[in-house]
Amino acid sequence: MKKQLLLTVSSNRVVAPGWHHMVLEGTDLPPVTPGQFVEVAAPHGATLLNRPISIFDATATTLELVIAPVGDGTKAICDAKVGDSLRVIMPLGKGFTTEFPVGSKVLLVGGGVGIAPLYMQLCTLIDAGVKAEVLFGLRSRPDAEFCKQYEALAPIHICTDDGSFGHHGLVTSHPAFGQHYDMIQMCGPKPMMRAVAASAAERGIPAEASLENMMACGLGACLCCVEPTEKGNLCVCKDGPVFNTSLLTW
Ligand SMILES: Cc1cc2nc3c(=O)[nH]c(=O)nc-3n(C[C@H](O)[C@H](O)[C@H](O)COP(=O)(O)OP(=O)(O)OC[C@H]3O[C@@H](n4cnc5c(N)ncnc54)[C@H](O)[C@@H]3O)c2cc1C
Ligand code: FES
């Protein structure tokens, strides 16, 4: 059930160039599932509309986000100091599939800050006895430092654009990508997700993609986030953000 909450910033750290890891605290946060997102109101009316941000992790009293300050809204949110309050609507959207037969092999592919919604998914899959692996495409070594949290849970494969850490190149050129999986789940830039989906389809591997279309209401009312699909135009905020890639016409 969606709630509008006023949460207090208890931590806000720069964890890689241009990435803030923020912890917000409150009481009675509603339950969330991996891949869902929140709408955050930019402080001081910096933007009229809320900004959609994926849930990195959450409990009944904490919400963790990883935010790249790219424009007025995300910069104002990232400028929040410990003790400041942020208005948040949560949880929103439909997340990743989490139920698989025990022993299934699932690959989580993340690109850039798109790795954020995959942390909670990874924790959930590991708890359920799924053999999950992680494949991330990052800019360079400092981004990889933040990924230690994922490394503690599962095998992790990292590609960097500049070759400063791990495999030099795209996620689709990493040897781990060519192995067989029962499912690939991903979030990141659309070109990356399209390439991953095309390869998965060729190999008969089902895939899910979390889309990051521009949003206004975040609640299914304004239709500004629609994505053309095999079932017609669907709202990324309400019908997604996670879609089976067989539905997407990209
Ligand atoms: C479901 C969902 C989950 C998201 N999760 C995260 C997250 O966990 N962490 C995070 O940092 N960001 C996330 N985003 C992206 C984030 O919402 C946008 O970066 C933010 O809305 C930009 O607002 P702004 O006011 O800072 O920038 P604006 O001034 O609106 O835009 C700045 C620049 O970013 C581009 N931009 C804006 N929105 C998007 C978008 N949705 N996709 C691609 N480019 C965009 C603009 O074209 C412009 O170049 C998510 C988006 C969606 C839809
Ligand atoms: S953002 Fe308004 S319908 Fe999706």
**Domain range 105-210, CATH class:** alpha beta
**Per-residue model confidence (pLDDT) at position 193:** 98
Q: Which of 38, 63, 70 to mutate to test the pocket of ligand 1 (most atoms within 8 A of CB)?
A: 70
* Any ligand 1 atom below 6 A from CB of 116: yes
- Pocket mutation for ligand 1, best pick of 214, 222, 227 (most atoms within 8 Å of C-beta): 214
**Nearest residue to 188 (alpha-carbon basis) of 165, 162, 161:** 161
The mean pLDDT value of the chain amounts to 96
Closest residue by CA, ligand 1 atom 40: 214
Q: Is 237 in the pocket of ligand 2 (CB under 6 A)?
A: yes
Residues in contact with 30: Cβ distance below 8 Å, sequence separation at least 6, in sequence order? 1, 2, 3, 90, 91
User: Ligand 2 within 6 A of 222 CB?
Assistant: yes
Instruction: Tell me whether the CATH fold assigned to 3-92 matches the one assigned to 105-210.
Output: no
Distance set, CA 12 to CA 60, 84, 243 (Å): 19, 11, 31
* CA neighbours closer than 13 Å in the CB half-sphere of residue 129: 4
Q: Is the CB of 170 under 6 A from ligand 2?
A: no
pLDDT tens-place string over residues 168-184: 999 999 999 999 999 99
Q: What is the pLDDT of residue 103?
A: 87
The pLDDT of residue 1 is above 90: no
Residue 198 is classified by DSSP as H
What's the chain's Rg over C-alpha atoms? 17
- CB 111 less than 6 A from any atom of ligand 1: no
Region 3-92: CATH code = 2.40.30.10
pTM given for the model: 0.96
Q: What is the DSSP letter of 248?
A: B
Residue 181 pLDDT? 98
Q: Each residue of 103-142: pLDDT tens digit?
A: 899 999 999 999 999 999 999 999 999 999 999 999 999 9
In the block, which residue shows the tokens 């789940």? Answer: 185
Q: What are the residue boundaries of the structural domains of the chain, listed by start? A: 3-92, 105-210
Q: Whose CA is nearest to atom 52 of ligand 1?
A: 212
What distance, in Å, lies between the first and last C-alpha atoms of the chain? 30
> Which ligand is in closest contact with the Cα of 215?
2
Structure tokens at 151: 């490394």
